[in-house]
Amino acid sequence: MTNTLKILGWATAAALGAVAVGAIALHRGEPVNALWLVVAAICCYALGYRFYSKFIATKILALDGLRATPAERLENGRDFLVTNKWVVFGHHFAAIAGPGPLVGPVLAAQFGYLPGTMWVLAGAVFAGCVQDFVILLFSVRRDGKSLTEMAKDEIGRVGGFVAYVAVIAILIILLGVAALIVVNALKASPWGTFTIAMTMPIALLMGVYLRRIRPGKVLEVSALGFVLVLAAIWGGQYVSQNEAMAKLFTFSAPTLAILIMVYGFAASALPVWLLLAPRDYLSTFVKLGTIALLAVGIVLLHPTLHMPALTRFVDGTGPVFAGKIFPFAFITIACGAISGFHALISSGTTPKMIARETETRMVGYGAMMAESAVAIMAIIAACVLQPGVYFAINSPAGIVGTAPATAAASISSWGFPVTAADMQALAHAVGEQTLYNRTGGAPAFAVGMAHIFSHSLGGERLMALWYHFAIMFEALFILTILDAGTRVARFMVQDALGHVYKPLGRTSWYPSILATSALIVGAWGYFLWQGVKDPLGGINSLWPLFGISNQLLATVALCVATTIIIKMHRAKYAAVTLLPLAWLVAVTFTASWHKMFDANPRVGFLAQARVLAAGPGPMTTATERVIFNNRLDAAVNGVLIVMVTLVLVESLRQWIGILSGAKETRVKESPFVRTRFVEEQG
């Protein structure tokens, strides 16, 4: 009876999922309710987890509940620590959920709601969750080794080196793009800038509270900090209304870029934990709270999606970024579907906390499903906007111009009606002077989120507060990634330089700290500056570059996973990682080819450089700079592709060698030790 009920339950879930996916895929010409996306997502995740992840766990990985994990064998009360599986799940989710699943889906919404939704669902269930799960388990079986160490052990030195360079490249490009998103969200916005500026004294106050008043009570002080941040958001409206104060907090994009670079350098080079650690906690507190609140808001409001399923921009002429639906939808949305960066977390802190091998399924596969759900929420937030409004916010001045009437006319001519008066009214409602040319995804997401919140929690009069809450949430979140990312990259560079000259590797030697901090900030600052000065808004060039590098890291992670699966004598099941790998190779290599060599100057870096070089009249320094930047972007892309090709060739050699019997099939796992938990539990 129980079995029959179970079968009936899963059959119902499958049927409901099919109906929901059918509804969102086949609806044309009339708006769709967001609940269809929610139902489709829940059913896909439930079925994927119950059946696909179980298949992987039992048939391929053969999870062994009797095998002691490194958390048990190497427990030291610091890194290695046996931890409750739900606690590890929350910890892992908090580490993998960054701004990527919020920004990427918003940008990809220019193709319509359908491509992003389908990629997020299928990509997560068949690729992203699988990658996170298998890398986590393989790291657990190797004493919590990192991806770069596993790549070196299982594929060879080339694999380790490429993984290392890819991580640095991704970090630098990510930090440049992330900073650009903050600049675009805060430029000419005294309210937003004031709120973010206020987080610094609030964080310092939290630091003093933690040090002097209630040592270690982080949750308590984060809640207090959150209340103060809400007060700062509320106070921001008065700053924006006061001419003198507004002037004080109004900055141009280049000025903001310089301020952010100075902040990044100070955060990396100075011992300022009193400021940074509380900000980090505050950001995490706001992040988890906002994601939960957004989920509640979507369910309560179940808004209608105004964006069509597919827009005319699937042909590659989109204003947000140029390029056809294939491959660009699949590199624009990385986190939320599959993100190579997750492999670093799955082989970082998390494997050192897992109590039983069997828990890797819930933590690895399950947390990625939760991240994918965040991406679905971002798609909903972007698609509840009228398409004309979405394109007015996300289109750069280089495409639609800066004059409101001209921009509105251009966008309306694409078939997405919007008027200058509509945009003025919306800007007024959210407390901004203008919402045109706010590229980067964050402002569009903030408007969508404010729309959902104000319709379900508090009414339209709170629209401006919700908008600035959303902007604060994204900017605070990204600034935390900026300072943490700069320090992680600095440590990685110091580690490498330590092999050349020992003192450079010492993380306490100040000349090394200053030099490597300057190097890292200079590198991402260069990309940021390039984006700020780019007439096409920067996102058009930099987000695809970030997406490509992130997916190339996933390619490396899937090469490692496939190699280990083949070495485990499970070659007949290798398709589980091989098919996502093949898909990613197709996507990233095609996207790279387009970004480097496409004849359309909006798509190809080299074509744009050629067009600018052939322009009439004498060349200005600014034009020369843009030409150089385009060639540099093409070169960065080319180097990454060549390196990943090397890993692929090296992996292929391993696979052929193993399958033909020419190579020894020795997996480099730590030896089996029986867990003590079995005896303890009887």
Nearest CA to 260 out of 485, 579, 19 is that of: 485
If binding is defined by CB under 8 A, does position 284 make contact with another protein? yes
Report CA-CA distances (Å) from 2 to 43, 54, 92, 361, 409: 21, 20, 34, 24, 62
Residues 6+ apart with CB under 8 A from 454: 460, 461, 462, 463, 466
If binding is defined by CB under 8 A, does position 342 make contact with another protein? yes
CA 527, 533, 411 angle in degrees (round to 5)?
A: 115
> In the complex with another protein, which residue's Cβ is closer, 90 or 657?
90
Closest separation in Å from C-beta 317 to another protein: 27
Work out which of 48, 70, 99, 308 binds another protein, going by CB under 8 A: 99
If binding is defined by CB under 8 A, does position 258 make contact with another protein? no
If binding is defined by CB under 8 A, does position 341 make contact with another protein? yes
Work out which of 27, 54, 73, 91 binds another protein, going by CB under 8 A: 91
If binding is defined by CB under 8 A, does position 205 make contact with another protein? no
DSSP state of 572: G
Contact positions with another protein (CB under 8 A) in 348-367: 348-349
3-class SS of residue 32: strand
If binding is defined by CB under 8 A, does position 86 make contact with another protein? yes
Closest separation in Å from C-beta 464 to another protein: 29
> In the complex with another protein, which residue's Cβ is closer, 64 or 75?
75
**How many other β-carbons are positioned within 10 Å of the β-carbon of residue 528?**
30
If binding is defined by CB under 8 A, does position 210 make contact with another protein? yes
If binding is defined by CB under 8 A, does position 270 make contact with another protein? no
Work out which of 222, 395, 540, 563 binds another protein, going by CB under 8 A: 222
If binding is defined by CB under 8 A, does position 491 make contact with another protein? yes
Work out which of 1, 2, 29, 78 binds another protein, going by CB under 8 A: 78
If binding is defined by CB under 8 A, does position 510 make contact with another protein? no
Instruction: Map 185-203 to HEC letters.
Output: HHCCCHHHHHHHHHHHHHH
> In the complex with another protein, which residue's Cβ is closer, 274 or 613?
274
Handedness of CA 200, 206, 209, 212 (dihedral sign): negative
Euclidean distance between CA atoms 352 and 346, whole angstroms: 10
Closest separation in Å from C-beta 210 to another protein: 6
Work out which of 29, 215, 616, 682 binds another protein, going by CB under 8 A: 215
For strands 304-305 and 32-33, give the pairing.
Answer: antiparallel
Q: In angstroms, how far is the first alpha carbon of the chain from the final one?
A: 30
Work out which of 251, 527, 546, 605 binds another protein, going by CB under 8 A: 546
Report CA-CA distances (Å) from 55 to 47, 50, 179: 12, 9, 41
Inter-residue contact 11 to 47 (CB < 8 Å): no
Euclidean distance between CA atoms 538 and 546, whole angstroms: 12
Work out which of 53, 139, 250, 480 binds another protein, going by CB under 8 A: 480
Q: Helix H segments across 187-252? A: 190-208, 218-241, 243-248
Burial status of residue 295 (CB atoms within 10 A of its CB: 0-12, 13-18, 19 or more): middle
If binding is defined by CB under 8 A, does position 95 make contact with another protein? yes
If binding is defined by CB under 8 A, does position 296 make contact with another protein? no
- Single out the segment in contact with another protein by CB under 8 A; choices: 98-106, 307-315, 424-432, 639-647: 98-106
Euclidean distance between CA atoms 475 and 443, whole angstroms: 10
Burial status of residue 418 (CB atoms within 10 A of its CB: 0-12, 13-18, 19 or more): buried
> In the complex with another protein, which residue's Cβ is closer, 20 or 520?
520
Work out which of 53, 290, 339, 540 binds another protein, going by CB under 8 A: 339
Inter-residue contact 185 to 192 (CB < 8 Å): yes
Work out which of 94, 165, 204, 228 binds another protein, going by CB under 8 A: 94
Euclidean distance between CA atoms 234 and 194, whole angstroms: 11
Burial status of residue 139 (CB atoms within 10 A of its CB: 0-12, 13-18, 19 or more): buried
Closest separation in Å from C-beta 207 to another protein: 10
> In the complex with another protein, which residue's Cβ is closer, 84 or 255?
84
If binding is defined by CB under 8 A, does position 565 make contact with another protein? no
Q: What residues does 304 pair with on adjacent strands?
A: 33
> In the complex with another protein, which residue's Cβ is closer, 178 or 648?
178
Count interface residues toward another protein (CB under 8 A): 57
Work out which of 261, 481, 566, 596 binds another protein, going by CB under 8 A: 481
Euclidean distance between CA atoms 549 and 280, whole angstroms: 26
Inter-residue contact 80 to 71 (CB < 8 Å): yes
Burial status of residue 144 (CB atoms within 10 A of its CB: 0-12, 13-18, 19 or more): buried
Stretch 297-336: interaction string toward another protein, x if CB under 8 A: -------------------------------------xx-
Residue type, 613: A
> In the complex with another protein, which residue's Cβ is closer, 280 or 650?
280
Euclidean distance between CA atoms 342 and 331, whole angstroms: 15
Contact positions with another protein (CB under 8 A) in 134-173: 167, 170-171
Closest separation in Å from C-beta 536 to another protein: 22
> In the complex with another protein, which residue's Cβ is closer, 81 or 114?
81
Contact positions with another protein (CB under 8 A) in 115-134: none
If binding is defined by CB under 8 A, does position 178 make contact with another protein? yes
Q: Name the site residues for another protein (rule: CB under 8 A).
A: 77-79, 81, 83-84, 86-87, 89-91, 94-100, 167, 170-171, 174, 178, 210-212, 215-219, 222, 273, 277, 281, 284-285, 288, 334-335, 339, 341-342, 344-345, 348-349, 480-481, 484-485, 487-488, 491, 507, 546, 550
